[in-house]
Structure 1
Amino acid sequence: MTSIYSADGQNVACTVVEAGPCVVTQVKTPETDGYKALQLGYGEKKEKRATKAAIGHFKKANTTAKRKVVEFKYFEQEFNLGDTIDVSLFEVGEFIDAVGTSKGKGFQGVVKRHGFGGVGGQTHGQHNRQRHPGSIGACSFPSRVFKGMRMAGRMGGQRVKVQNLRVLKVYPEKNLILVSGSIPGAKNSFVILEK
């Protein structure tokens, strides 16, 4: 993330995303596949690290092996196999959605994971209950703990979509796009941008 100054002099936090160039590796049509979609490939990959089936798939599009392949439905423009899509697809001022995998936090307790306050204070004999969940169930009825009870567990590392992020700047020569706010995921991770 970084920040830039807007036209009215405000400091706006933004995320820099390298969006492209992406190659159209497959065009799906209702006649052959039953639905309409575009498959895009991004990032270079050594040929020895790709399977022979994948190499043959990319050769049809007349391109090298790609690190990430994602399918998009409902594309407005028509593209052919082997076409290149870059950051010029986006315009300054429009709103987009960003989909990514959030940072994994590992196994966390209820205070960090759900914002619990812990059990009581630190006096009256409490010495090991400050960040514990406390009571989790009812009495003899219903004699069980309901599903979905908020407890400690694995946190993060999930698919997250952040909606309505404004495009602040587009640099077509470097394939960079500046988006207002934060985007899920660590640095150098893959992100899907949707219009």
Structure 2
Amino acid sequence: MKFILGKKIEMAQIWQGDKVAAVTKVEAGPCVIAQIKGKTKDGYEAMQIGFGAKKEKNIKKPQIGHMKKISTQAIASAIGGKGSVSGGKKNLKYLREFRIDNINKDLKVGDIINVSTFALNDVINVSGISKGKGFQGVVKRFKLSGAPATHGNKDQLRMTGSIGSSGPAHVFKNRRMPGRMGGDKKTISNLKIINIDAPNNLLYIKGAVPGIKGGLLLITGDGELKVEKISPESNARENKKAGNQASKDLAKNQVGKDRFANLAQEIKDKISQPRIIKSINILEEKNNLDLVSMIAKVINKEIEYSQLKNHLMEFYNFDEAKAGELDKELKEKVFIEVSDYLQ
């Protein structure tokens, strides 16, 4: 079985000779193999693949740890340059699993799946989440005919009608009644690929597929899964680069801690957290000045915390708007951990 993840772009038309076909344009892959499951360890055989780009701050830590096994080069190839992959960040937006029998032993974590695994006229199945339509009545939701429009009927055209007899004295399960419609997983079978744009990772699928524009699609078909291998040399080079960046970040954080060496230990531990040191470095580069001495004076209460804005205007010649902006950023990103001590 072959498969890929994709994103629904739009519907369009393609001419085939003198006939026109309605097609769905899908951005399919590239996807990276994130995990291979086996019967020995997991109890079943399956393959997990990742697709799309996502900011690391929006990814939970367990998922970040799960994706550490994938090389940075493979992530970069999968997301096609979207999102940040610097410093070893792994920003896959979607992870989905496909059950497979007898997984090819040549497939490895980090291999890339792209549209080249499919061919023209392949018959495929496409799964996605259907459009949500909110709370709907039985006429729209279940195509019931409604009540007669004449012969004494009034305001009953789209009513449900009887929902049971008085004998059992209760409503049976699965009775078709008004309720939430759409937003369900749907699979459309036996669709055909009628065009492939490999350079742009696009599949043109005849007919409609479930979901909204930009919705995730799971595409499966019969045949051999073809993958693109990432060279070990590239992996080693990228991992070395990521390791060097991590070492630089660590050294930078250590320098930041040393700059607050004269503060009390409890306050020093709070103000020397990596994210706060990073914020200070960014603000110093942005405003082209040394903020550490001023921050230390504020913490030692040589400068009043409430008068920080006025201090910036007086000693750094900032205008009121710029001083107010820096004052807000310092209080939100730097002094947040020691605000109780300062007030």
Q: Same fold (TM over 0.5)?
A: yes
Gaps of 5+ in 2: 1-10, 76-89, 222-343
Question: Which structure's residues are more often helix, by fraction?
Answer: 2
TM-score (norm 1): 0.92
Instruction: Report if the CA contact (8 A) 1:108-1:153 is conserved.
Output: yes
Where does residue 138 of structure 1 map in the other structure?
Answer: 165
Considering Cα pairs closer than 8 Å and 6+ residues apart, tell me whether 1 or 2 has the greater RCO.
Answer: 1
The equivalent position to 2:27 in structure 1, one of 5, 14, 18, is 18
Q: CA deviation at 1:18?
A: 0.6
Q: CA deviation at 1:34?
A: 2.2
Where does residue 159 of structure 1 map in the other structure?
Answer: 185
- In the TM superposition, what whole-angstrom CA distance separates every residue of 1:7-66 from its partner, at most 9, and x where no partner exists? x42111110111101011111122322222211000011111112222222121113221
Q: CA deviation at 1:85?
A: 0.6
Question: Which structure's residues are more often strand, by fraction?
Answer: 1
Where does residue 4 of structure 1 map in the other structure?
Answer: 14
2:145 and 2:44 map into 1 onto residues whose CA distance is 50
- In the TM superposition, what whole-angstrom CA distance separates every residue of 1:161-183 from its partner, at most 9, and x where no partner exists? 00000011111110000111000
Tell me how large the CA RMSD over aligned residues is: 1.6
Gaps of 5+ in 1: none
1:146 and 1:32 map into 2 onto residues whose CA distance is 44
2:97 and 2:139 map into 1 onto residues whose CA distance is 38
State whether structure 2 residue 47 is matched by structure 1 residue 38: yes
Q: CA deviation at 1:123?
A: 5.2
TM-score (norm 2): 0.54
SS of residue in 2 equivalent to 1:144: coil
Q: CA deviation at 1:105?
A: 0.7
- In the TM superposition, what whole-angstrom CA distance separates every residue of 1:120-170 from its partner, at most 9, and x where no partner exists? 21452x33211111222124x333332211111111110000000001111
- In the TM superposition, what whole-angstrom CA distance separates every residue of 1:90-140 from its partner, at most 9, and x where no partner exists? 11011000000000111101111111222221452x33211111222124x
Q: Number of paired residues?
A: 192
Q: Rg larger in 1 or in 2?
A: 2
Instruction: Report if the CA contact (8 A) 1:26-1:39 is conserved.
Output: yes
1:132 and 1:51 map into 2 onto residues whose CA distance is 46
Identity level (%): 40
The equivalent position to 1:193 in structure 2, one of 211, 215, 219, is 219
2:143 and 2:155 map into 1 onto residues whose CA distance is 18
SS of residue in 1 equivalent to 2:200: coil
Instruction: Report if the CA contact (8 A) 1:122-1:130 is conserved.
Output: no
